[in-house]
């Protein structure tokens, strides 16, 4: 268990607790089935089925107009911002080291969890894209190849397991695939920060969809998966995506325009993650004890009691403790800082164009009200990145950053209802278009 100083230093952005913000309502196949029975330590059914109030999020029209202007002018921070962060970072590193002294004393100690057992039967395969092998997991003995693809992207510090409840829910209707992104868990961990630049991560998604035998997909993402997903949507749009669902990560471009001092304090862990070696030691010390603070015993913990068990957390500990994983995971943040400031990595210009682009993919955005890292203010004017009616945004009250794991069955239901809405709209649009064609044809005939 982490002490309060570690929690404060790492998860509260190295500052005292802020008041809650105010807001208004060639592929190598290795398909091996794992054990199918539910593993011990599964969360109790009443916790999984528990719900929390949900409100629709809508920004004032003036805020949307303002954000459209700001989004069109969005650009890297440049040398000035890079210098600011470089000056601030050592202070954050010192505070992080001091606050984590007890934990760091256990660096290199602690064993990884015992063998893990999947909570349901899974089919695993390694798919080679862009010079790396990505570990992909699907529910059941084999993939549902005849169905449309639903691809899941996890966040930090996670893995495919984060989507266990959604994978089962949509298994009959989709070719469900949850991937360990490059650097994570059982996927390849290429060396170097540049291997994890955002443009490359987005290209991985495009290549993976094709390698899995599809042209398009419904992309479902959380946290860092959301960072990648927003970039994918801006880069490839409807050519690659049929639908987009993002949780725990407001639109990246709009969010950058909403950065204020309070949010910078919340996000100061990003500066901590720029330090050499220190964050790796923190993540892996004492058998990756920090995962307990991330999910069950700290300010980042799930809000729904019992929804995350010790056995669940063991999956995250095992993933972090795999050789090279901690550095690879942190390199996401290190490459991202370069994109945000100097933008001098290959593909960075493409990323910034993507963040300014309008998203024409039907999108569902879910956000936890009690997310301690990403405040509600990041949502302001989020509709600016979409055509009118193109986004449905919902806030789950009393919900943590781990949206789909905090209230899994409720989230599944929200996804289902939104899918029905999208299909109804498409049906109505198709009907209207057909009627228009028919009317034009009749008019042309009578006029001839």
In this structure, are strands 363-368 and 241-247 parallel, antiparallel, or unpaired?
Answer: parallel
DSSP labels for 313-379? HHHHHHHHTSTTHHHHHHHHHHHHHHHHTT--STTHHHHHHHHHS---S-EEEEEETT-SSS-GGGG
The 3-state DSSP class for residue 55 equals: strand
| From 333, 367, 406, 407, active-site residue | 333
Helix axes 310-320, 278-288, angle to 10 degrees: 140
Sheet with strand 391-396: strands edge to edge: 27-33, 122-129, 132-139, 175-179, 149-153, 217-222, 241-247, 363-368, 391-396, 54-56
| From 332, 401, 406, 407, active-site residue | 401
Q: Which residue has the tokens 């899995």?
A: 212
| From 186, 223, 314, 348, active-site residue | 223
The yes-or-no answer on residue 333 being catalytic is yes
What is the Cα–Cα distance from 277 to 7, expressed in whole angstroms? Answer: 19
What is the Cα–Cα distance from 448 to 436, expressed in whole angstroms? Answer: 18
Left, alpha or beta for 248 (phi > 0: left; psi -120 to 50: alpha)? left
CB 186, CB 135: distance < 8 Å: yes
Q: How far is CA 185 from CA 161, 193, 311, 326, 385, in A?
A: 10, 17, 17, 10, 33
The yes-or-no answer on residue 186 being catalytic is no
Nearest CA among 120, 130, 247 for reference residue 197: 130
Residue 19: Cβ within 10 Å count: 6
What is the Cα–Cα distance from 70 to 356, expressed in whole angstroms? Answer: 9
Task: Classify residue 124 by burial, with Cβ atoms within 10 Å: 0-12, 13-18, 19+.
Answer: middle
DSSP state of 88: H
Q: Which residue has the tokens 């599809």?
A: 214
Question: 165: which 2 tokens?
Answer: 């409840």
The yes-or-no answer on residue 401 being catalytic is yes
What is the Cα–Cα distance from 127 to 205, expressed in whole angstroms? Answer: 11
CB 276, CB 4: distance < 8 Å: no
Kindly list the catalytic residues.
Answer: 223, 333, 401
């Amino acid at each position: 268990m982490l002490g309060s100083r570690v929690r404060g230093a790492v998860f509260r952005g190295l500052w005292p607790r802020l008041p809650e913000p105010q807001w208004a309502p060639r592929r190598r196949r290795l398909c091996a089935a794992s054990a199918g029975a539910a593993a011990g330590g599964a969360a109790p059914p009443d916790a999984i089925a528990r719900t929390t109030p949900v409100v629709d999020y809508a920004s004032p029209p003036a805020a949307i107009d303002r954000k459209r202007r700001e989004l069109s002018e969005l650009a890297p921070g440049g040398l000035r911002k890079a210098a600011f962060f470089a000056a601030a970072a050592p202070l954050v590193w010192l505070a992080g080291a001091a606050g984590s002294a007890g934990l760091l004393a256990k660096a290199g100690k602690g064993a990884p969890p015992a063998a893990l057992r999947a909570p349901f039967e899974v089919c695993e395969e390694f798919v080679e894209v862009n010079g790396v092998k990505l570990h992909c997991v699907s529910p059941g003995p084999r993939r549902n190849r005849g169905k449309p693809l639903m691809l899941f992207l996890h966040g930090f510090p996670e893995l495919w397991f984060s989507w266990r409840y959604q994978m089962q829910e949509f298994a009959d209707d989709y070719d469900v695939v949850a991937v360990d992104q490059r650097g994570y868990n059982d996927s390849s961990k290429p060396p170097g920060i540049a291997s994890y630049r955002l443009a490359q991560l987005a290209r991985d998604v495009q290549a993976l969809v094709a390698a899995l035998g599809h042209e398009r997909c419904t992309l479902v993402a959380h946290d860092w998966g959301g960072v990648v997903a927003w970039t994918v949507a801006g880069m490839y749009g409807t050519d690659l995506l049929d639908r987009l669902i993002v949780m725990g990560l407001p639109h990246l471009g709009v969010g950058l325009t909403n950065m204020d001092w309070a949010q910078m304090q919340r996000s100061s862990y990003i500066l901590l993650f720029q330090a050499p070696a220190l964050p790796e030691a923190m993540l892996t010390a004492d058998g990756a004890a920090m995962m307990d603070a991330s999910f069950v015993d700290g300010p980042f913990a799930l809000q729904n009691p019992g929804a995350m068990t010790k056995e669940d957390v063991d999956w995250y500990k095992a993933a972090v403790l795999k050789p090279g994983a901690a550095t690879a995971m942190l390199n996401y943040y290190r490459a991202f800082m370069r994109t945000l400031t100097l933008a001098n990595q290959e593909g960075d210009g493409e990323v910034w164009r993507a963040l300014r682009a309008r998203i024409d993919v039907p999108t569902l955005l879910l956000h936890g009200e009690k997310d301690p890292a990403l405040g509600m203010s990041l949502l302001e004017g989020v509709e600016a990145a979409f055509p009118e009616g193109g986004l449905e945004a919902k806030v789950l009250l009393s919900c943590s950053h781990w949206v789909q794991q905090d209230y899994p069955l409720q989230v599944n239901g929200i996804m289902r209802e939104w899918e029905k809405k999208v299909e109804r709209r498409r049906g109505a649009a198709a009907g209207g278009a057909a009627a228009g064609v028919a009317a034009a044809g009749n008019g042309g005939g009578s006029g001839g």
